[in-house]
Structure formats: C-alpha cells, structure tokens
Chains A and B, each alone.
Chain A
C-alpha cells in the first residue's frame, strides 16, 4: 500500500517536473493593426511587464506567448483562434478587446477545452446563459460600467440624456446597461455603424435638435478621439455636458487633450487606486514606457497574474482541466484592483469609480478617481448563468 502511494506520488512528481520543463504556451489575441493598434500595444506591454514581474515563469513553468492580431475583425479573430488551438496548441488563450470578436472566437476554443481569459471584452451572452466553465474574465461585463454611469447621472440630476454608441455587441450591451439604472428620459439612442463610421455629423445634428441635458457615449479607441473632435467642431462642447464609458482613457487622451476636460466617466480600475500591486504595476509601467497604463493594460496584467496564481496551485500543471479551473476560481493573486473575487459566471465582483480628466504636473492629460460609485458590484446577467460552484 505504502509502496503504491509512493509510486503514485513519485509518478505525479515526475509528471509535474516534466511538465515544468516544457514551456507553457499562452496565446494572446489583440488588435495590432489599424487605428486601434495602440490598444493592442498597451495590452502587449502589460503582458510583458507581468511576465517580468513573475520572473518569466508562471507557476514555475517557463512561458512562451504567441501574440495574434485580430485586426478588429470577428472573422479574422475567429481564424486566429483556430490557428492558436490547431497549429500552436496553446494551453490558454487570453486578451481580446472587442466583444464581437470574442463572440465569434469563443465557440471553437471553448469546445476544444482550451481556457479563455478575456482581458477586456465582456459580452452579456458569455456572462449570462452562454457562460462556460472554461471562460474567465479579468475585466467586467459590458453592462456594468455604464450602469455605474447611469447612477452618476441620477445623482447629478440629469433628466434627459441622448445615447450615442457604436452598433456592435458591446455598444448594445453598454446602452442597455445605462438604461438599466438611469431613471430619467432617454431623448434618443443612436447606434452608428461599427467600426467604419467615423463621421458623426448626422448624430451630432440630432443632438442639437433634441437638446438633451447630457450626452452619453461609448466609443473606445480611435473613435473616441474622433467623436470628441467632431463634438467640439460642431460647437456642442461646453453647451451640452458629455459623459462617457470607455471613451476617455490613457489611449485616447494624448489625442483628445483638453477636449476631454470635464468629460466624466466610470471605471473599475483607475491608475491611482491605492493598493500595493497597483502602485508597483503603474510605477514600473510608467518608468518603462513613459506613459500612463490604460485599463486595457491593467486587465491584461491581471489576466497573467491570475494565471500565475492558479498555476502556482497546480504546480504548473495545465493537463488537469478541473484542477486548473478550481485554482482559477480561487483567484489567488494580487490584483491591481485590490480585492478580486469571481462571481458564479466567472466574471469579477468589483468596485466602480467615477473619474475625471486632469492635467498632471508634467502637463500630460490623465484621469483621476473622484468617488466610488459601486462597491462589490455584480453584473446583471450572472443569475442567468447556470453554473454553480
């Protein structure tokens, strides 16, 4: 009996040593071409920083990262996902900025039994009925951030708001989120063609004719810079207050500059959050790249840290999916958001903050936290997810 146990133990030990030597393969899908390549670069920089902080080993296992460019197109992302599971045989896939790309990619990856960690996109489908034991998020569900925004609008006495957003999976979720909590009147909703409509003249003309108390927008990346420029060109800036979700950030501020002053937004992570992991991340990132990290970067950093924490528990083993899943669910890592806990749908339960645009001492534009809007907020879809653990 003792010998048998010993043999099993020895076997496990040998197996995990062998496992520890073969490098872990992580596929990281993001956008590296087109106007939003800057977002992809920010995420990539954060992944590299996280790996350096982890000593280029996750759970004691050396790691190779294969970066793939989805070109912000669902069909390309889908093909790249198939390549990562088919040709590269990666252990885990992470990244993905866009909800529509994620929705197109998810099925073959999850069916293959590969773990998928979203570092940004949080479509309501994957948070709700289509939640999957192999899918984790280190960002948020799309609805949550604008829900916090709706709460802010209520507190500020906004009675009538006009919504303008890109017409894709995330845009629709975001608008739904805002409408879930905003108690006033929605003067109008415009969903523009995504991503190729960059000319917002028709929508701006409508804003002028409906005369709302406030305008809310969701235009991540290059679109955000465009919208603010055109909003100002149309003479609306300063006339009708603008509120945003994911539109004013470290990626777009270098282009938006003073146009973003006074444009309030909500976030689950802001670079000035006072926890030790975050201080280290922000300081090292700024030192290395001479710019502020974005939430895209923070969420990517957390994705690698989450994986590191889980692999430490399994001794670097990725073959036992159930063990790895159980370890991931524990979320035993130092998140840049402070406390980090997964809900039943494997999306984080987290705080949301109100942020404003400011100029720092060196004259760079950045954001800072004004107040906490929600504490330990759960997304509105988690109860539609049948997973219990």
Chain B
C-alpha cells in the first residue's frame, strides 16, 4: 500500500484521537476529551450503519434505535443494581442483535422506499416503548448511578480510561470491518447491493446474507449505545428520535458512504462542526443544512472522496 495523502491523513486522524487526552492535559481543557469521546462513540455507530448502508445498500432510517437499545440495556440493569459490565454489555449486544434480526426478518423482504419506511416504523416502536417504560423514567429518561464494572483495574468513571477503552473498541471495529468487507461475505454483500438479480441467479442466498449483515450492524450499534450510556450516565428516548437516525446517516454520507474510514471522518467532522459552528454562530444549521444539500448535489462522495478515496460499494 503506497502512503497516499489520504492514508496519511487517516493515520494522522487516528493518532490525533489517541493524543487528545494529552492535549487536554497540556491545555488544561478536559472538555476536549468529552468531545472526542462523543465523536468516537458516534463513529462506532456510524461504522455499523455504513456496514449495511454503504456496503449492503440497505438504507436503515432507524439506526438510532440500536443506540437506545444498547443504552437502555445498561441503564435498566444499573437501575436494578446490576453493574456487572460483562452482563450489561452482553445484554446490550444481544438485545440489539435480536431486535435487528427480527426487524430484518420483516423489513428485508421489501426494497427501496418501503424498506426505509419499515426501518423507520420499527425504530419508532422502540422509541415509544422507551417512552412508555414508566418504571424507567418514560420521557424523562433514566440517570445511571453506577458505571459498568468489568475488572477492578478498569474504572470507567475515569474519563481518560473510558476514552481509551472507546478508542480501542473503535480500532478493533475498524480492523474487523476491514477484514469482513474484504472477505467473501463482503464481496457478496456488495454484489447484492450492486446487482441482486445476478447474485440470486448465481445461487447466492441473498436474504441470509442481508439478514446476517443487518444483525451484525445492529449488534455493533448496540455496543456503541452501551458505551454512550456509560459516557452520559443517562439514557432517554430522545437517543432514539428519528432525527438522531438522520444524524447518523448524515455522518456516514458526510464522511463517505461505503468506505472504511468515512464514518469515522464523518462522525468527527459532525461533532466538531456541531461544537465549533455553534460557538461561532448560534444558528449553525442555517449553514449546515444547505451544506448537506450541496454535498448531495455535488455528487455525494463525502470527505473521503475529497481526499481522493474511491468508493468501493
């Protein structure tokens, strides 16, 4: 692999993320860690969405539901005094995988706009389930009073420790995604997105491949949700609002659909824009909204495209 400017920039981005706590210490601004942490967790969620949307061509308009399911798994167990991290994260991943599997069973039979709408409707069901969960605060949300506990030396309450944990999870997810999309499974997935009829004719079990990808993406996003719950010490139905799903799509497309690093770039850009633009001008969406329109009209290659990347979807 030749070190193209794009690869250099990506390496620099990951290095910069790794150095954030140091920079925060030097400048005395701990808030950088908070911001970077949000970006890293959202990047994980965006990677999972990109797996099905970018590589698999399945536009899920309800992906924020998995953030919520992951978050509530941690929150609900913590509310009942169970702060064992293995149990909490296991439930988060398992419950989101199951929810994705069941959603996929119904939604993956349809295509195009019907798929989008079913994924939206299913996410709304999850949203209202959280709204109706009066035992867990309903609309008001649920404060988590104890952090997840894994092993005695890993204290998630410490912001730097937690940040590096999230960053490590992100790196592992990137490596695994890279291997997955370059393995046979990934080729088949992209093949289905590009020409389903052909793959069907070749005897590929299309539905099973799509369902597997959908379930995997749900599980990964559930993990992001569990991290988000530990990050904020708070979960509420607004995590699953349909505009949050829209935000995730924005991150993926802003970074570059169907590229490995695109979602990370998109999530970081989104968090930085949100923070910096809102500091500069209160009504930053007045610029950000038209920017999205321009990104789309200009050909939708995302930031990765600007850096010379080629979409392999």
Query: Which A residues are within 8 Å of any B CB, using their own CB?
Result: 73-75, 78-79, 82-83, 86-87, 99-100, 103-104, 106-108, 167-169, 193-194
Contacts and interface: CB of A to CB of B under 8 A. Distances in A.
B239 interface: yes
A231 B126 CA distance: 34
6 nearest CB pairs, A to B: A87-B31, A100-B140, A86-B31, A75-B238, A74-B141, A169-B140
A108 B233 CA distance: 8
B138 A86 contact: no
B133 to A, nearest CB: 13
Given A83-B31, A167-B138, 11 more contacts: A74-B236, A75-B232, A75-B236, A79-B232, A87-B34, A103-B140, A104-B141, A107-B143, A107-B234, A108-B233, A193-B139
Given A86-B31, A86-B34, A75 B234 contact: yes
A321 to B, nearest CB: 19
Contacts of B138: 167-168
B141 A107 contact: no
Contacts of B207: none
B248 to A, nearest CB: 16
Interface of B: 29-31, 34, 138-141, 143-145, 232-234, 236, 238-239
A194 B134 CA distance: 13
Q: Which of A78, A104, A107 is packed against the most chain B CB atoms within 10 Å? A: A104
A169 B142 CA distance: 11
Contacts of B139: 100, 167-168, 193-194
Nearest to B231: A82
A87 B275 CA distance: 12
A192 to B, nearest CB: 11
Nearest to A77: B234
A83 B30 CA distance: 10
A75 B235 CA distance: 8
16 contacts: A74-B140, A74-B141, A74-B234, A75-B232, A75-B234, A75-B236, A78-B232, A79-B232, A87-B30, A100-B139, A100-B140, A100-B141, A104-B234, A107-B233, A108-B233, A168-B138
The dominant DSSP class at the A interface is helix
Most buried by B among A73, A82, A108, A194: A82
B143 A82 contact: no
A168 B34 CA distance: 29
A34 B141 CA distance: 20
Contacts of B144: 107
B38 to A, nearest CB: 9
A78 B140 contact: no
A74 B131 CA distance: 13
Contacts of A86: 30-31, 34
A126 to B, nearest CB: 11
Given A100-B141, A103-B140, A104-B141, A74 B238 contact: yes
Nearest to B159: A86
Contacts of B29: 87
Contacts of B141: 74-75, 100, 104
A219 to B, nearest CB: 16
Contacts of A106: 143
A73 B139 CA distance: 10
Contact of A82 (B34, B140, B239): B34
A100 B31 CA distance: 24
A86 B236 CA distance: 22
B240 to A, nearest CB: 11
A167 B234 CA distance: 19
Contact of B143 (A87, A104, A194): A104
B145 A107 contact: yes
Contacts of A87: 29-31, 34
B238 A78 contact: no
Contact of A104 (B30, B31, B34, B236): B236
Residue with the greatest number of chain B CB neighbours at <10 A, chosen from A75, A83, A106: A75
Contacts of A79: 232
B232 to A, nearest CB: 6
Nearest to B241: A75
A78 B234 contact: yes
A83 B233 CA distance: 14
A261 B31 CA distance: 50
A99 B141 CA distance: 12
Contacts of B31: 83, 86-87
A201 to B, nearest CB: 20
A107 B138 CA distance: 18
Contact of B239 (A75, A103, A107, A194): A75
Contact of B140 (A83, A104, A107, A108): A104
A58 to B, nearest CB: 24
Contacts of B238: 73-75
B143 A103 contact: yes
A73 B236 CA distance: 10
Given A83-B31, A107-B145, A168 B140 contact: yes
Nearest to A82: B34
A182 B119 CA distance: 48
A86 B24 CA distance: 11
Contacts of B143: 103-104, 106-107
Nearest to A171: B140
